[in-house]
Amino acid sequence: MTSYILRRLFLGIIVLFIATILVFVMMHMLPGDPLLLYLGEQYLNYEPEQLEVMRAEYGLDKPTIVQYFDWVGGVIQGDLGSSINYQMPVSTMIKQRLPVTLNLAVLALIVSSILGPSFGIIAAIRRGRWQDTTVSVLANLGITLPVFWVGIVLMYLFAYKLRWLPTFGYTSPADDFSMHVKMLILPVLCLSMFGTASQTRQARSSMLEVAHQDYIRTAWSKGLKERVVVLRHMLKNGLIPVITTMGMQVSFLFGGAVLVEKVFNIPGIGRMLAEGVTSRDYQVVQGGVVLMALIIVLTNILVDIAYAWVDPRIRHSYR
Amino acid sequence: MKSRRWLLVLGCLLGVVLLAVMAVGCEEEATPGGGGDEGTATTAAAVEVPRSVLEGPQGPPSDDVPQYGGTLVLLHNRVPTNIGAFFMKTGFADVQQCRYALEGLTGLNSKGDPIPQLATSWDVDDVANTITFHLREGVTFHDGTLFDAEAAKWNLDMYRNGEKKDLQDVVSIEVVDSLTVKLTMSKIDVNFIQSLSSSSAGKMISPTAYETLGAEAIKLHPVGTGPFEFESYEPNVALKYKKFEGYWQEGLPYLDGVEIRYVADGVAALTAYKAGEAQALYDVGVTDAAELEALGHTISTRVMTIWGIAGDMKSSSFPYSKLEVRQGLSYALDRETAVLGVYEGFNLPTDQLAGENMQAWNSAITGYPYDPVKAKELLAKNGITPETPWKITMTYISGPLEDDLWAMFQEDLREVGIELTLNGTDYAGWQQKAMNGAKNELVNFAFSYNGIEMQYSTSLVGNLSPDRAWYPDLVLSDAFDAAYEAVMAATTREDRELAYQALNKIIIDDDCCVVPFLVLRNRVAKSPDVHDYGFAELTTAEFLPETAWLSGAANPPTTLGGAVTSVSGN
């Protein structure tokens, strides 16, 4: 098991490395000058020599490949570079924004992890009935509807028309917990939508598969109550694939966070990345992508470990 | 069968719920600004309310009697990076958000002329090349220290030695007495005084605060003499100013505070504004502006840029290098129909490098009014006809309305034999093409000019001078070069304006090196509760924040978020 984890970690580092190269190349292929974008029409107030000094300050005067290795060297030493658009270290920006995104993502994950399997189980044990149909229709909608569109509709309805909730923004729970909750209701609903829907479908499918197993038939024939059959016998095996999808949810959550944070104006990593791309703030995008890639890689490793814990057959196969 | 029946029942129930929710939601359009009373003067009618002694770009205040109280909330789409020390690097957003706390030696009136602000008057000596500023007495910074000649000298020295090229012509700065400071210049530039009211140079901050807070911290903690003092900045969320009780104009400002909230998404911003969570919205889209105007909101427009077409004039085989082709292209554009149709009057057509009420506008310019017959004639002389079209790519800054505009121009040009392949790109992509040159292509030409004369000359230097950084493929004639030198050599504002107009005529009538078509304006929506808020009337950098007031201030908008005191990055 230890060697498996170490192997996964090593592969994770390779994945990170490849991700940074891809992002670096793609960002530098985009047209535009980050320094001029930041200065806007203010650039006219600088002499060309002063602009060159600034360019050198950000390493923009160096060849692309040198810029990449300089950045990698910095990352190894804990320096993620400096944002041109925000005029501050990228690590500071991440420290400010990561808790916000994690707050949003964790809540969305909890919501989808509770609702998804629950709906899936209901649909499975009431297969063919109205509960199954309703859940399946809603799950399909949850997967197909674009999250930003849903966000805008929810905002329009609940914030603008009904005035039940604020339109946008984020408040730290330490500052005003009640406002914090109000502000996160819509974003969390949006962000958890896809995860809930996909876990619903996955849970339904895997529970149905388990339901047809011989040992379940034996349990029924023993006269056990439905609750006991489902919770004690079906659930553990039925949820193994669901746990796997939970790991995949993390990548969807971070991807979805980019859109949700933009729509609801939440100052998290997702919005930072979106703005970084628009403003060609290379180091912000690179730093953000490294962080998200790291989180996703680590999460997937944890999921694999959890998978092995849940299924003894997998655990024993590592020996 | 049974499940289908249940599905039908469920569907009906969902439909009823949806209708009920929509019915609840379909109330009358909410009154913005928190639903307070309409602006009336009755409560304050008997009270004499002080007025600002300063002039501002927004013109004189309304006749209504201002009311005290309330916090004005402005939604903005760009966060600041330096609103406290303009001698250091500043970005586009900074100049728009500092004015509440910072004042300069001079301000601007509605014509863009420099007027007193922290300096009550100045004497220009053309012989000795000196400018002597007489400073206003009794002004204190937000930290309680005095604004005097020493503080002014300190600030001007910081600008002179700073990261930008401000005050390059200043040789020395002398404190004559506590309220008089004299600048010795290498030459007297006609725009120097005006430049002190600009976004770049001239904003005064407390030297003591700079020493205490440090160069980095003061960037996001401005300490000036303005009517509002810095309260807090939550990164990417909100910048808050509160009323400065020690402001040198007693009885001002009227507002208790100003809050700038940052919203990256236009839909979220508009929704929040319409929900009454803010009273001002920066950078409103044209369609939304029209809707808001119909609902009684004020839409302030500020000229930002003159747009046109530029192309490669250096390649002799490229059709754009030929004068007749450029002229034909200009005649072919039906600017009025396209621009007024797409922008609903919020942006205006032009065929000069100026709008009609701007200093550089030259009524003697003939220009190229829409005439497709003439266009065809000129193009045909160069082998371009609808049967043998000139196929060319046009790179422009894309947007929903810009795409429509260019689609209309595409049709106009197709009619005369120019087949445009449209390449709509984002600002960054366009910027790169405009700076690196568009080889054998056409590119969107953008001339930043907000009606301030100084801005015109700055843009001229950047975009059309021999040393320009943009549009390197333009070829400027000897007549242009001579006219440009005349602009730079002008010693009075009046002479320079005449020189601009002469230059404009050469650019358009004689050389036709660029093809202007649009006066692009930025829009700020202000709710009916907002009065005398001059933000974005002439220039977003300069206005009088102390004159702004809110009617219905007893019902301020919803405050989002709790108290925040941290300053980003420090």
Of B149, B186, B190, which is closest to residue B168 (Cα–Cα)?
Answer: B186
Identify the residue with better confidence: A47 or A162: A162
Over residues B180-209, mean pLDDT: 86
pLDDT (tens digit per residue) in B268-327: 999 999 999 999 999 999 989 999 999 999 998 888 889 999 999 998 899 999 999 999
pLDDT (tens digit per residue) in A75-96: 889 899 999 888 889 999 999 9
- The pLDDT of residue B131 is 95
Over residues B188-196, mean pLDDT: 81
Which residues in chain B are contacts of A43 at CB distance < 8 A? 462, 469
pLDDT band at B461 (very low <50, low <70, confident <90, very high): confident
pLDDT band at B129 (very low <50, low <70, confident <90, very high): very high
Residue type, A9: L
pLDDT at A234 > cutoff 80: no
Q: Do B237 and A183 touch (CB under 8 A)?
A: no
Of A35, A16, A48, which is closest to residue A282 (Cα–Cα)?
Answer: A35
Bridge partners, residue A83, by sequence: A88
How far B158 CA lies from chain A's nearest CA (Å)?
Answer: 15
Q: Do B558 and A160 touch (CB under 8 A)?
A: no
- The pLDDT of residue B22 is 57
Indicate the DSSP class of residue B490. -
pLDDT band at B414 (very low <50, low <70, confident <90, very high): very high
Identify the residue with better confidence: B566 or B339: B339
Least confident of B84-88, B134-138, B238-242, B327-331: B84-88
What is the C-alpha separation between B379 and A131, in angstroms, rounded? 71
Q: Do A44 and B164 touch (CB under 8 A)?
A: no
How far A261 CA lies from chain B's nearest CA (Å)?
Answer: 9
What is the C-alpha separation between A191 and A101, in angstroms, rounded? 11
- The pLDDT of residue B292 is 94
From chain B residues 29-48, the ones with a CB under 8 A of any chain A CB are 30
Q: Pull the structure tokens for residue B63.
A: 């006749």
Over residues A131-157, mean pLDDT: 92
Tokens 């949003």 — which residue?
A104
Q: What is the ipTM of this complex?
A: 0.79
What is the C-alpha separation between B214 and B206, in angstroms, rounded? 12
Residue B90 has its nearest CB partner, among A36, A42, A265, at A42
pLDDT at B249 > cutoff 80: yes
Which residues in chain B are contacts of A123 at CB distance < 8 A? none
From chain B residues 343-372, the ones with a CB under 8 A of any chain A CB are none
Residue type, A95: K
Q: Do B268 and A170 touch (CB under 8 A)?
A: no
pLDDT at B557 > cutoff 70: no
End-to-end CA distance of chain A: 7
How far A8 CA lies from chain B's nearest CA (Å)?
Answer: 35
C-beta atoms surrounding A191 within 10 Å: 32
Q: Pull the structure tokens for residue A294.
A: 């790291």
pLDDT at B1 > cutoff 80: no
What is the C-alpha separation between B94 and B540, in angstroms, rounded? 10
How far B219 CA lies from chain A's nearest CA (Å)?
Answer: 10
- The pLDDT of residue B174 is 96
Residue A31 has its nearest CB partner, among B6, B165, B432, at B432
Integer angstrom CA distances of residue A315 from A150, A318, B193: 41, 6, 78
Under 8 Å between Cβ of B401 and B286: yes
Over residues A274-293, mean pLDDT: 90
DSSP, residue by residue, B360-392: T--TT-----S-HHHHHHHHHTTT--SSSPEEE
pLDDT band at B7 (very low <50, low <70, confident <90, very high): low
pLDDT at B161 > cutoff 90: no
- The pLDDT of residue B47 is 58
Under 8 Å between Cβ of B543 and B537: yes
pLDDT band at B570 (very low <50, low <70, confident <90, very high): very low
pLDDT band at B452 (very low <50, low <70, confident <90, very high): low
Integer angstrom CA distances of residue A87 from A78, A83, A278: 18, 5, 16
Please list, in sequence order, all residues whose beta carbon lies within 8 angstroms of the beta carbon of residue A112, skipping any fewer than 6 positions away: A192, A194, A195, A196, A199, A249
Over residues B251-279, mean pLDDT: 93
Which residues in chain A are contacts of B435 at CB distance < 8 A? 33, 36
For A35-66, letters b (16+ CB in 10 Å) and e give bbbbbbbbbbbbeeebbeebbeebbbeeeeee
- The pLDDT of residue B133 is 97
How far A229 CA lies from chain B's nearest CA (Å)?
Answer: 25
Whether B235 and chain A come into contact, CB under 8 Å, resolves to yes
Residue A88 has its nearest CB partner, among B6, B165, B569, at B569
Of B374, B352, B319, which is closest to residue B506 (Cα–Cα)?
Answer: B352
Residue B275 has its nearest CB partner, among A130, A163, A264, at A163
Q: Do A37 and B431 touch (CB under 8 A)?
A: yes
DSSP, residue by residue, B125-190: ETTTTEEEEEEPTT-B-TTSPBP-HHHHHHHHHHHHTSSS-TTTTEEEEEEEETTEEEEEESS--T
Cis before B253? omega within 30 = yes
Q: Do A263 and B92 touch (CB under 8 A)?
A: no
Whether B15 and chain A come into contact, CB under 8 Å, resolves to no
Over residues B358-368, mean pLDDT: 89
Identify the residue with better confidence: B176 or A313: B176
Identify the residue with better confidence: B425 or A241: B425
pLDDT (tens digit per residue) in A105-122: 999 999 998 999 889 888
Whether B458 and chain A come into contact, CB under 8 Å, resolves to yes
Q: Do B564 and A175 touch (CB under 8 A)?
A: yes
pLDDT at B21 > cutoff 80: no
Query: Model-level pTM greater than 0.95?
Result: no
pLDDT band at A47 (very low <50, low <70, confident <90, very high): confident
Q: Do A267 and B236 touch (CB under 8 A)?
A: yes
- The pLDDT of residue B16 is 66
Identify the residue with better confidence: B132 or B189: B132
Q: Do A159 and B275 touch (CB under 8 A)?
A: yes
